[in-house]
Structure 1
Amino acid sequence: MLRAAAEKFEANGYSGTRLQDIVAGRNLSKGALYFHFPSKKHLAAAIISEQADLWARLLAELRERHPRAIHLLPALLCRAAAQHSEDVMARASTRLAIERDRIGEEIPPLFASWTDLLQRLLAEAKEQGDLRPEVDPRSTAELIVATFTGLCQTPAGGAARVDFKHHLTQMWKLLLPGLATPECLADLEAAPRSAL
């Protein structure tokens, strides 16, 4: 049910999706849908909730391979982009989170949880001596989440999907020199590309 709804929400957005669109052509009845989700709003909230801890799960998987937080940042965004490209649930949850004001307050604050996670990671990088002293973890986290979210919603040049790898590489080329200490930046540049 959630995947069927995610396909419609991704394609048409919250306002453009009706519950009858979700069940049409599927082995689902509107009654069965209402049994599990009393409204379209509850269905949207469930899709976002399914993805709310995605970045935390990805971070936990990457942590062992990347003990330094500064290395985790690009690796995490790369994995999140891959998930977004491959999984309709991830794409639908991002679109629904962008449309949160139209849906209502019951919708989990997806972008706030991403920002909080990145803020903690940036603060950890600062404690490890890898970030410049003037870097503010909160505003940097907000910038990274806004950039990632923008990429999710803006296919370049009319393409069906965004070339996340290219755009994230460009983002890190621009951001890292302003974030990382000169010593850390030299280490990052010397690291094999596969490490990041």
Structure 2
Amino acid sequence: MQDRASRTREVILRAAATVFDDRGYVGTRLEDVVDGQGISKGALYFHFPSKEALAAAVVREHYDLWSELTGRLRPEHPRAVRLLIELSRRIAQMLLHQTGVRAGLRLMSERNLIGPSVPRPFVSWVTAVEGLLTEAREQGDLRPDVLPGPTAVVIVSAFAGLPQALAAGAEPADPVGWATALWRSLLPGLVTAPCAAEMYAVLEEPPGG
């Protein structure tokens, strides 16, 4: 019975992510979430008593994405700047292929329409990026005039706005390409000249390469 309840909850979350990604919080009805899923509205309310609770659950599924990816990729990339570039391009891939990630980003950007149960937007993302920038300073790669905290906000804000830009028809419709372009713009003012030269070579490689 517990396994069945868990499966039902996962089906609801996947369906909700699809609808939230397509219509946003205001444009989504709970009827739209269960429609065609073989799940009753009563079962939905058993797991999520309100649309706000459902939206908050979708956000929490991906809220710690930067931190979780950092833990998985760190053994491959001990150099913080290289790790940060790889993280951002992996997340860009997820924006292209994973509805849940796009839905979580959209709902975080609509938090003022939802309610306080949704985590504060991007706090864990900014913390993770700030930590990597601080490491980059300790490794001698960060320029001495760069402040990790404010710079982390800029980097995360750029990625947070990417789904909206693509939805509005920004070209090319390739999140990884946009992530690469972002780093080409940021690197000269962010890291030392030798580090920038090395990272430009990294940007020529596909994510995961």
The equivalent of 1:62 in structure 2 is 73
Per-residue Cα deviation, 1:58-78 (whole angstroms, up to 9, x for no partner)? 112211111110111110000
Superposed displacement of residue 55, structure 1 = 1.7
The equivalent of 1:82 in structure 2 is 93
Indicate whether 1:7 and 2:30 are aligned: no
Q: Which runs of 5+ in 1 are unaligned?
A: none
Alignment of 1:146-157 (within 5 A): 146-155=157-166
Indicate whether 1:35 and 2:46 are aligned: yes
Contact between 1:48 and 1:110, CA under 8 Å: does it hold in 2? no
Aligned counterpart in structure 2 of residue 20 of structure 1, from 18, 31, 56 = 31
The code of the aligned residue for 2:102 comes to R
Contact between 1:154 and 1:162, CA under 8 Å: does it hold in 2? no
The equivalent of 2:185 in structure 1 is 174
Aligned counterpart in structure 2 of residue 131 of structure 1, from 132, 142, 159 = 142
Contact between 2:96 and 2:174, CA under 8 Å: does it hold in 1? no
Superposed displacement of residue 190, structure 1 = 4.9
The equivalent of 2:154 in structure 1 is 143
Superposed displacement of residue 158, structure 1 = 2.4
The equivalent of 1:103 in structure 2 is 114
Superposed displacement of residue 47, structure 1 = 0.6
Indicate whether 1:92 and 2:103 are aligned: yes
The equivalent of 2:9 in structure 1 is none
The code of the aligned residue for 2:25 comes to Y
The code of the aligned residue for 2:84 comes to L
Aligned counterpart in structure 2 of residue 163 of structure 1, from 174, 178, 183 = 174
**Identical-pair percentage:** 48
Contact between 1:8 and 1:17, CA under 8 Å: does it hold in 2? yes
Aligned counterpart in structure 2 of residue 73 of structure 1, from 66, 84, 89 = 84
Q: TM-score, length-normalised on structure 1? A: 0.93
Distance 2:202 2:89 in 1: 16
Contact between 1:152 and 1:162, CA under 8 Å: does it hold in 2? no
Q: 1:21 to 1:157 in 2, by over 3 A?
A: closer
Distance 1:160 1:46 in 2: 31
Superposed displacement of residue 182, structure 1 = 1.7
Contact between 1:10 and 1:92, CA under 8 Å: does it hold in 2? yes
**Length, aligned pairs only:** 196
The code of the aligned residue for 2:70 comes to L
Superposed displacement of residue 183, structure 1 = 2.4
Contact between 1:6 and 1:88, CA under 8 Å: does it hold in 2? yes
**How much is the aligned-residue C-alpha RMSD, in angstroms?**
2.0
Contact between 2:21 and 2:103, CA under 8 Å: does it hold in 1? yes
Superposed displacement of residue 13, structure 1 = 0.4
Per-residue Cα deviation, 1:114-173 (whole angstroms, up to 9, x for no partner)? 111101110110111100011011111111111111112111772699311221111111
Distance 1:185 1:19 in 2: 48
Q: Which runs of 5+ in 2 are unaligned?
A: 1-11
The equivalent of 2:194 in structure 1 is 183
The code of the aligned residue for 2:69 comes to L
